[in-house]
Chain A
Amino acid sequence: MKLQEYTASAHNFEECMKCTICTAYCPVVPVNPRYPGPKQAGPDAERLRLKDPYFFNQALKYCLNCKRCEVVCPSGVKVADIIQSARIRYDHTPPKLRDRILANTDFMGKLARPFAPIVNGVTGMNLTKTVLDATLAIDRHRTFPKYSGQSFEGWLKRHAKEQAKYERQVAYFHGCYVNYNNPQLGKDLVKVMNAIGIGVQLLEKEKCCGVALISNGMSKQATKNAEHNIAALRKAVDKGLTVLATSSTCTFTMRDEYPELLKVDNSAVRDSLLLATRYIYQLLASGKATLDFRPDYHARIAYHTPCHLEKLGWGIFSYELLKMIPGVEFTLLDSSCCGIAGTYGFKKENYEASQAIGKPLFDQIRSVNPDVVACDCETCKWQIEMSTGYPVKHPISILAEAIR
């Protein structure tokens, strides 16, 4: 008899023994009195919600979904999954126009790309920021990331023939950010992969991973994206390809949020979807590949582990990779949330909390005073650059600079 297996509760919520350790490490609790905290919002209230959905509390929207509660839980309770699942199940408020705009990174990118110089000029203007703040409640302190006139997809398609010449191949899930905002990061990955003798190809057609759709109450659309992406990944994996990604959050969403929150089965592709730094670290560490580093490279680098990478447990690959570069003076920053949490920090009502959450990290960066902060997440990058003035680069871009 498998009594224990058959009676397991959703996201392990009955394992909670009310120790409050999750609340002790929640970044939102000390800065937002309206948030009841992970224990209360998660396993405690779940018991009530199961009796009557009336007990669903809108304050759950203050959860960043940073997963730090799950990382520290001694009992294996998936606290953030309980909270996010409750939002998906019980919150039927239609998302605001602002939230639709922020969440549809893919659509907005497509729309803005052809007019990139104009769009960048307009979104950078103080007048625009004031108008967006007043009409849509997008905080005036934020600047939208710049759009690139050329998409990464277009660039790689033009270079597909050269890439196909490599005997060994990987597929690349570039995500919205690399495609529309920072194609250079994608090009850097191609440079590094080519340097170790591996060609890079696109997936047949990828869509936004959907993380912002989930957090903005558009889980149906997120589920469609998830199903589409899993099918696209499947085609690559069936050809024997490993799929790499550079965004820690896209990787985390497709590996863990798809099955846990959206109930989309990814078991056929999950093990083949890796963060690029993990893949490259393993090749270098095992001696299966070498990189020709520039002898004159020198940088003092401080590494920030994004929350979703902390949850994946893969930060070690990114920072060990950076440490392999000769001429790097390395500092590992304390693991602490930067406060942006994707679209969360863009919302006017969250701006102050977002900056207060990030303060210990910003203070530490200033005291370390590095040449550059390294980080695998694009939204952490915007937040740290805006709040500290220090440049933030992806480890892959740093690697690309450090090799010949």
Chain B
Amino acid sequence: MKFDTIIIGGGLAGLTAGISLQQAGIHTAIISSGQNALHFFSGIFESSETCRERLIRLFSTAGIRVQDIPGYHLMPMGTFREAGLSLEDVASFPEKKIAERALIVNFMGFHDFFSSFLAEGLEKEGTACRIRFIRLPEMEHLRQSPSEMRSVNIARVLDECWEKAVADIRVLHKDEDLIILPQVFGLKDASVPEKIASALPAHVVFVGTMPPSVPGIRTQMKLKRRFEVLGGTFLMGDEVTSAALHEGVVSSVTTRNLDSVRLFADHFILASGGYFSKGLVATPNRIVEPLFGLDVFQASDRNQWYRTDFFQDQPYMDFGVRTDTSLHALKDGVPMKNLYAIGSVLGNTRKDDFGTAAGLAVSTAFAVADAIKESQKEQLP
């Protein structure tokens, strides 16, 4: 089976690259071994100034609204962070005193939304807070097992009955100028948060919960759909088992599901993620990239991998696949001719060039998609 480009990994980096390529008519397949870190996405793209307009455009074609309003984001633990490019779901405020009085509403038994931390953080900045809980009969079955009171389960219930939650919140609301709710609305339908906001008699904002991230999952579904509508092939739940390499060129890969059917392509993009997604694997003494055996930047002494103070920056998070400046992956010190690496598999090593996390994913995805588009053009007579 032959494609123009094969992308290994179906997360934010893989999908962004896939959509860009497919938009340019480059036939692309994405191989994705299970779901990805978008399911844990805070909704904030760090340091992606270089591709702001492009990102907003690409996401809007997929039906995802991205905003860039200066000020501060309110974080799940009641802290503030300087605002930047983010999903529309993430609230931003011009100053840290976000209201005179805020009503924080949570669902009874939902422990992944930290209303007390939020109140403490907000009160420090001058916003008086009142915390109230609601319970809906539709949610009672979740409460039988405490481990099932999770954001996505709640969101799936609320997709069907969010209006009932709104009615309860109206009863609780007194004179507050702001209502704060957890991000558990609109998993299927992104317009629900907006509808809730217009149905309540105060300004309404939604604040992040512990993973899984409802806006993140919605983003994943919409990007995948967009990629498929453009004609891309998404192989879900499959994984690369071997690769044919010769003189710095990858010619084909095999997968677990398609076994003897080799997948050929002119270009390959490694977007396989970090440790969680097994794009990087830590063995007792070495960190390896398991699919191609690429060079991985790392401290050779295992004791230098981590700091004992858990809250400090951890060096192992910086480790990742080495590339040249145009993101060709290095193997034995030599750049591969048609294999690029993007996103978290690079580690945080490229902070200065490409930023971190989601910002790294999209900016490297755009850079590589452009390089591939260029080289396809050159091949044409």
Q: Which residues of chain A are within 8 angstroms of B238 by Cβ–Cβ distance?
A: 313
Further pairs besides A19-B212, A36-B145, A314-B257: 6, Cβ < 8 Å:
A20-B212, A21-B35, A24-B217, A71-B237, A72-B237, A74-B35
Partner of B34, one of A30, A74, A310: A74
Q: Which residues of chain B are within 8 angstroms of A398 by Cβ–Cβ distance?
A: none
Inter-chain CA distance A335–B329, complex, in Å, is 33
Inter-chain CA distance A23–B212, complex, in Å, is 10
With an 8 A cutoff between CB atoms, is B141 at the interface?
Answer: yes
With an 8 A cutoff between CB atoms, is B157 at the interface?
Answer: yes
Type the 1/0 row for A67-78, where 1 means its CB is closer than 8 Å to any CB of B: 000111111100
CB-based contact B36/A74 at 8 Å: yes
CB-nearest residue of chain A relative to B187?
A24
Q: Which residues of chain B are within 8 angstroms of A75 by Cβ–Cβ distance?
A: 34
Question: Which 7 pairs across A and B sit closest by C-beta, in order of nearness?
Answer: A313-B257, A71-B237, A33-B141, A74-B34, A24-B152, A30-B156, A72-B35
Q: Which residues of chain A are within 8 angstroms of B156 by Cβ–Cβ distance?
A: 24, 29-30
**Stretch of B84-92, B193-201, B228-236, B291-299 that contacts chain A:** B228-236
Type the 1/0 row for B254-279, where 1 means its CB is closer than 8 Å to any CB of A: 01111111000000000000001100
CB-nearest residue of chain B relative to A331?
B229
Partner of B153, one of A29, A72, A316: A29
> What are 23 A-B residue pairs whose CB atoms fall within 8 Å in the complex?
A19-B39, A20-B152, A20-B211, A21-B212, A23-B152, A24-B152, A25-B35, A29-B153, A30-B156, A30-B160, A36-B148, A40-B148, A71-B237, A74-B276, A74-B277, A278-B261, A310-B236, A310-B237, A312-B257, A313-B235, A313-B238, A313-B257, A314-B257
Which residues of chain A in 231-279 are interfacial with respect to chain B, using CB atoms and an 8 Å cutoff?
271, 278
Q: Which residues of chain A are within 8 angstroms of B5 by Cβ–Cβ distance?
A: none
Please give the number of chain B residues whose Cβ is less than 8 angstroms from any Cβ of chain A in the complex. 37
Q: Which residues of chain B are within 8 angstroms of A278 by Cβ–Cβ distance?
A: 261
With an 8 A cutoff between CB atoms, is A92 at the interface?
Answer: no
Inter-chain CA distance A334–B233, complex, in Å, is 12
Which residues of chain B in 214-245 are interfacial with respect to chain A, using CB atoms and an 8 Å cutoff?
217, 225, 228, 233, 235-238
B262 to chain A, nearest CB (A): 11
With an 8 A cutoff between CB atoms, is A50 at the interface?
Answer: no
CB-based contact B33/A30 at 8 Å: no
Q: Which residues of chain A are within 8 angstroms of B217 by Cβ–Cβ distance?
A: 24
CB-nearest residue of chain A relative to B233?
A316
With an 8 A cutoff between CB atoms, is A11 at the interface?
Answer: no
Q: Which residues of chain A are within 8 angstroms of B73 by Cβ–Cβ distance?
A: none
CB-nearest residue of chain A relative to B1?
A285
Inter-chain CA distance A37–B156, complex, in Å, is 12
Q: Which residues of chain B are within 8 angstroms of A36 by Cβ–Cβ distance?
A: 145, 148
With an 8 A cutoff between CB atoms, is B159 at the interface?
Answer: yes
With an 8 A cutoff between CB atoms, is B303 at the interface?
Answer: no
CB-nearest residue of chain B relative to A74?
B34
Inter-chain CA distance A75–B278, complex, in Å, is 9
Inter-chain CA distance A314–B256, complex, in Å, is 11
Q: Which residues of chain A are within 8 angstroms of B141 by Cβ–Cβ distance?
A: 33-34
Q: Which residues of chain A are within 8 angstroms of B237 by Cβ–Cβ distance?
A: 70-72, 310-311, 313
Measured CB to CB, the residues of B under 8 A from A are 1, 33-36, 39-40, 141, 145, 147-148, 150, 152-153, 156-157, 159-160, 211-212, 217, 225, 228, 233, 235-238, 255-261, 276-277
Inter-chain CA distance A15–B238, complex, in Å, is 17
CB-nearest residue of chain B relative to A35?
B141
CB-based contact A40/B147 at 8 Å: yes
Inter-chain CA distance A44–B233, complex, in Å, is 34
Which residues of chain A in 52-110 are interfacial with respect to chain B, using CB atoms and an 8 Å cutoff?
70-76
Given that A20-B150, A40-B145 are known contacts, is A73 also in contact with B34, CB under 8 Å in the complex? Answer: yes
Q: Which residues of chain B are within 8 angstroms of A128 by Cβ–Cβ distance?
A: none
A382 to chain B, nearest CB (A): 25
Q: Which residues of chain A are within 8 angstroms of B225 by Cβ–Cβ distance?
A: 334
Q: Which residues of chain B are within 8 angstroms of A39 by Cβ–Cβ distance?
A: 147
With an 8 A cutoff between CB atoms, is A300 at the interface?
Answer: no
Q: Which residues of chain A are within 8 angstroms of B35 by Cβ–Cβ distance?
A: 21, 25, 72-74
B300 to chain A, nearest CB (A): 23
B232 to chain A, nearest CB (A): 11
CB-nearest residue of chain A relative to B238?
A313
CB-nearest residue of chain B relative to A335?
B236
Q: Which residues of chain B are within 8 angstroms of A310 by Cβ–Cβ distance?
A: 236-237
Partner of A316, one of B39, B160, B235: B235
With an 8 A cutoff between CB atoms, is A18 at the interface?
Answer: yes
Inter-chain CA distance A332–B232, complex, in Å, is 11
B25 to chain A, nearest CB (A): 17
CB-nearest residue of chain A relative to B142?
A33
Given that A19-B212, A21-B35, A74-B33 are known contacts, is A30 also in contact with B152, CB under 8 Å in the complex? Answer: no
